[in-house]
Structures are given as C-alpha cells and as structure tokens.
A and B are shown apart, each in its own frame.
Chain A
Amino acid sequence: MLHCEIRYKSYGDSAILMQWPEMINEIILEEVLFCKKKIENSSIKLILEVVVSYNSLLVIYGSSIENFYDAVLELKTCVPELISSHDIKKKLWTIPVCYDSEVASDLECYCRFKELTKEQFIRVHSDRIYTVYFIGFLPGFLYLGGLDEQLFVSRKSKPSLHVPQGAVAIGGRQTGIYPQNSPGGWYVIGRSPLSFFDSKKRTPCFVSPGDKVKFESVSVVKYNEISFLEKEGVYVPENVIYEG
C-alpha cells in the first residue's frame, strides 16, 4: 500500500484531480511521481497529459469523461501497491550562483533585514540540497523544497516589475530561480548564469521533478565566464546520480 490516502475529484468534465494530503513532503513527492509514471505507461486511452504539483496529479483526458466512477476505478488499477523508489533515477545538479550585490539587487537589504552577514547567508543558502518538486508558474521555473527556516521571509509588499532572467530569489518558505525576465515578489539574493528554459530543445528544461539541486557560490568573474559559455551553448551543467 501507499503511505498516503489519495482523494479523487472531478475537475471540469475532462480531467480528474488526484490529491494527496496537503503538505510539502518527499514521501508524497515520490508517490506522486511514481503514480504519474504508472498512469502514463498504462493502457488507459484518451489521457492527454498528467500534470504534477506538490501533492496532486491532474489527469487530463482528450474528451469528456463518460462515467467519473469508472474512470476513477481505472486510475486506481494503475496506482501501485508498493512504491519502488529505485525505479526513478534522480540527479543532483550543481547550479552556479553569484551572490554579489552587483547582480543581486536585494541581497544587502535582505541580509540586513534577516540580521545575517553576507557570508553567513551564503553558507546557509548554498549548504543545502534542494528537492525539485515540479515545474510551473513560468516555463522552466523550478518549485524547490528544502529552504532553511532561518532564511524564510515574507514576500515583498510591492512586487518588483522587473526581475531578470537567472535571478535566484527567496519568497515565503521557498527559494527559486527566475527562468525569464518577469515581474516578481521575491527577494533577489543571487544570480545564476544558467538558462533553465530553452525552447529550441525538445526537452527544454534540463532538470526534472524529483531531481536535487545544490547552489555553488561563484565570483562575478566566474559568473561572466559561465554566462558566455552558456550563450555559446557549450556549458554543460554539472550533475551526478543522486543516491539519497
């Protein structure tokens, strides 16, 4: 049996929402991703797409569902008895981040507000291994879990109109990287030279849900160097197989 109970809800006339208990938790993530794979590999016809978030899967059908209960039964047959988490290969990515006021507009005010020195902050932020839960909000935006409680901060009361591509930011209990220029309400505390969304590639995001990321502090010079390589399309993000 799975650890958690799943609730099934209809979502319009052509989708079913599968909900796990409402929390951010790695056991739930494993179950969600495992069930997603099972459903995608199942013989159920007419499924167009399965969308992942922290504690849910949205199963989208190509036409209206004739009988909700039959469809739920069909999904339940896909839900595995046991999770074998070894089935899903996870990668640990090293993401270079420049924590320098030159490229991180809110770093000073954030540190002042949190009463941390820049060095203390960088140590805490880059010491953690973060878990990628899913991609959403903007194309290539990673929802990361694992931010140290010390670094929690409420969102800005007035969102910035312009957060640059690559900005590494903190908002609420989350940290993330803006894949494109966008307005945003989080504090920009660093900047990564990597591109997290490339529409020219069939797999436009190099990171997948379930993967881990680690931030590595780099100097402005190194940031510029990697930016150049990235623009030339020759930078390969560092990664290893993650063995929990």
Chain B
Amino acid sequence: MRGEMRILKSGMATSIQDFGRVGFAKYGIPRSGVMDQKAFVLANALLGNTANSSVLEWTMIPPKLHFDVSVNIACTGAKVIPIIDGIEQKMNRQIKLPANAILSFKFVGKGVFGYVAIEGGFDVEKVFDSASMFAPVTKNSTLRAGDLLGYTNREESLKQHAHIRWGNSYLDCSVLRVFPGPEFELLPEDGKRFLLEKEFVVSGIRSRMGIQLMEPLPYSVSEILTGPVLPGTVQLTPSGRLIILMRDCQTTGGYPRVLQLDDLFLSVLAQKQTGEKIDFRLI
C-alpha cells in the first residue's frame, strides 16, 4: 500500500542518499552517496531491502517525520533514541510504525550522520543511476519541512526473528587506515613521519565535500597540475592544512594527494565530531 512520509522538521542537511553515482566523473559529476556506508548497509539489511535502497540521512540535528501508512523502518548511524508517538524505541533494529505515526529523535551525542531506512526504500526518481541528492544533478541538495516522500509497504509482515550481529564500536575507532597517495613521496622524510605519527583533530570546517583537520603540516609540497581525486583522498594545501575529501567531493583537484583512506574508514571518519582525534596508520 502506498504511503507518504512528510518532513515536519527538516533537522540539519537532511537528504535522500544511496551508494551514489559511479561512472559520470567525465561530466564532472561527483559520486555522492551515504557518508556512513556501514550504517546504510545495516539499515537496509534490517528491513530485508535490496542493498542500494534509498534512505534518509540527517546531520547532527535529527528531523521530525510523519508517516501516514503503517510501515517498517530502521534507524542507524549516529546514536539516537527514536521516539514514536512519545514512546522511546531502539535503534539498529526493525521498528513497526502504526498509521499516522510521528517519529522524532533524542540525539545521544555520538556520531554525526543518522539514517532512517524504510521497507522497499523511498519512491524517488533516480538521476544518473542514483537517488542521492546533489544540486545541480538533482534539483536540490537537501530536504525541507513540508516535503513529501512516497513509500510502499509490503503486504506481508517482515520476519522478526532474523538476527543481525552488529557492533557500533567503529564509532569509537580513531585510527584510520591509509595508503600512500600519489604525491606522498614528494614529502620530506620528516613530513612523512609527522603525518603518520601525529594525532590530528577534526575541525569545524566540514561538509559532505570534505573535512579539514585542525593541525597544519609544517611541510609543503608544490601544487600539482589538476588531477583526478576520489572520496578519501587527503590533500595538502599550500598553507599546510590537510583536507580529507568526502563523498560529495569534486572529481579533480590541484592540491598534492598525500594519502588515500581505505574506503572502509571513510565511514569511521564521517562519524567523527568536530574536536575528535584521529590518526593515520599506513597499511
């Protein structure tokens, strides 16, 4: 049966996401996609969805949502207490919503990106093979209060006895596994050591495109001819600032690429709040 979810309060930078779009860098189209792939995979698995079903992603401030038709959902990612019609629920499991339910959240304070998955995914148009919002590929980059998103609940009820073993320990992990980037060798030996041995703090200059680290590297490498970059590329700017590119990053860049994050650790980094520490460990 068709239902509609209405955004009552948008929260912060709330959008629809899936794994993103690959194969369109030739037009300058970024990959986009969920910031925390681990939480995304779990959310869809909990509902028996196909792996790339679209979900709602929010940032630091959770949204408030209304669902007109009864449906199963799952909340994963940043730590929250989901509240349905005033009653506290658990995250990381299936939640059966009655018709006309209002879902809100109490943010517990760990992590940055939270997810709401729905059985079957949201009925949204795919643009270049993905539902991920990114203007100008899609019309808007975020959802606003009053927006409506369609869904279809399954007639038969989901199996409730399936158990998924899941740890949230990655939210506490502060070591990021990295590969040397194409320009790593241009750093002096002291610079390499500094980069791999020092702890860095996540700064407040951050978005879905990239995260800047607080401590500058007291070494520099001359700029390169603009070249390809990927989510997880660690760029060194002329002032010594390190920028880690995230899912919405541009397809090319002109700063030296000193490290490349192992893809699994992009999810770990995405969930780090401003002020949290990280360190890089070479694989």
Binding site for B on A (CB under 8 A): 9-15, 17, 19, 22-24, 48-49, 51-58, 60, 134-141, 143, 179-180, 197, 199, 204-205, 209
Contact = CB atoms under 8 A, between A and B. Distances in A.
Contacts of A23: 225
Shortest beta-carbon contacts, A-B, top 7: A136-B252, A58-B228, A12-B260, A51-B228, A139-B28, A51-B25, A135-B28
A138 B29 CA distance: 7
B199 to A, nearest CB: 23
B27 A22 contact: no
Given A12-B232, A53-B225, A53-B227, A140 B28 contact: yes
A63 to B, nearest CB: 10
Interface string B239-275: 0000000000011100001001111000000000000
A135 B26 contact: yes
A136 B28 contact: yes
B167 interface: no
B51 interface: no
Contact of A17 (B27, B228, B250): B228
Contacts of B157: none
Contact of A140 (B27, B225, B232, B250): B27
Given A135-B27, A140-B28, 5 more contacts: A15-B230, A24-B225, A48-B22, A49-B25, A197-B136
A11 B226 contact: no
17 contacts: A10-B179, A11-B181, A17-B182, A17-B228, A22-B224, A22-B225, A56-B227, A134-B252, A135-B26, A135-B27, A136-B28, A136-B252, A138-B250, A139-B29, A141-B28, A179-B28, A197-B28
B262 A138 contact: no
A139 B136 contact: yes
A110 B127 CA distance: 39
Nearest to B134: A139
B250 A199 contact: no
A32 to B, nearest CB: 11
Contacts, number: 107
A58 B25 CA distance: 11
A205 B263 CA distance: 29
Given A14-B263, A199-B127, A199-B138, A48 B23 contact: yes
Contact of B250 (A9, A11, A136): A136
Given A11-B260, A58-B230, A139-B137, A51 B251 contact: yes
A54 B251 contact: no
| Interface class of chain B by DSSP | loop
Query: Which of B28, B30, B251 has the largest count of A CB atoms less than 10 A from its CB?
Result: B28
Interface string B8-41: 0000000000000011011111100000000000
Contact of B27 (A57, A58, A204): A204
Given A13-B262, A180-B136, A54 B226 contact: yes
B170 interface: no
Given A11-B230, A140-B28, A53 B181 contact: no
A140 B128 CA distance: 14
A52 B25 CA distance: 9
A10 B136 CA distance: 32
Nearest to A204: B27
A162 to B, nearest CB: 15
A9 B181 CA distance: 9
B230 A136 contact: no
B227 to A, nearest CB: 5
B250 A12 contact: no
Contacts of A138: 28, 250
B225 A55 contact: yes
Interface in B119-141: 127-128, 135-138
A19 B138 contact: no
A49 B181 CA distance: 19
A11 B261 CA distance: 10
A17 B252 CA distance: 13
A22 B135 CA distance: 32
A12 B262 contact: yes
A12 B259 CA distance: 8
B246 to A, nearest CB: 14
Contacts of B22: 48-49, 60
Contacts of A205: 27-28
Query: Which of B26, B128, B182 has the largest count of A CB atoms less than 10 A from its CB?
Result: B26
Contacts of B26: 49, 51-52, 134-135, 209
A197 B25 CA distance: 13
B185 to A, nearest CB: 9
B28 A54 contact: no
